[in-house]
Structure 1
Amino acid sequence: MKTYYVYILSCSDGTYYTGVTSNLTQRLEDHQHRKHLNSYTSSRLPVELVFYCTFTEITMAISTEKQIKKWSKAKKEALINEEYNKLPNLAKKKFNK
């Protein structure tokens, strides 16, 4: 059974990059060595792997990646820090501040 990974990298400029791959080790090397010169991370090196989770279905991995990419920085940090109890409140939209 093939394994797929959704991962978050911390970039040198304080931002996060979220991706999906079937070979996490190779993909991290690709990021670190600027294999794709026009990629988001190529100008934000070094990067550090701060989170990953595994899937057996590529469709679920891609769906999760897309979901996390829409999250705020605060919500991504709660996930990275395993502060799962904070996720529901960070997901709520704030109206009438």
Structure 2
Amino acid sequence: MLDLTRIPWRATRHEGIHLHFLRRDEATGDSTVLIRMEPGCSYPAHRHQGEEEVFVLQGGYRDARGLHRAGDYVLNEAGSAHNPTALTDPAEDCIMLAVAHGGIKIQKP
């Protein structure tokens, strides 16, 4: 059983966003990563260079495509862009497992 409270999260420069890389290939941009967003916090707007598969483990988030809650599987296609924001109801962190191919490009506001 995965104990989400024991994961050694790494803070990012984005408020309320934490990562734990399981695998990361700097050459290709491919990664398998756990992402934790605190309630109400947003991951910066970004565009996917390749497909990204996301499985929501806890909490949920909203983006332009809709509402995604624990147990949901989301496929972000290559070239797609979004700005996910963690839900505040329930007031728990949104934790996701993401398998990304080709990395992402943060979009400037």
TM score, norm. by length of structure 2 = 0.22
Structure with higher strand content: 2
Larger-gyration structure (1/2): 1
Structure with higher helix content: 1
TM score, norm. by length of structure 1 = 0.24
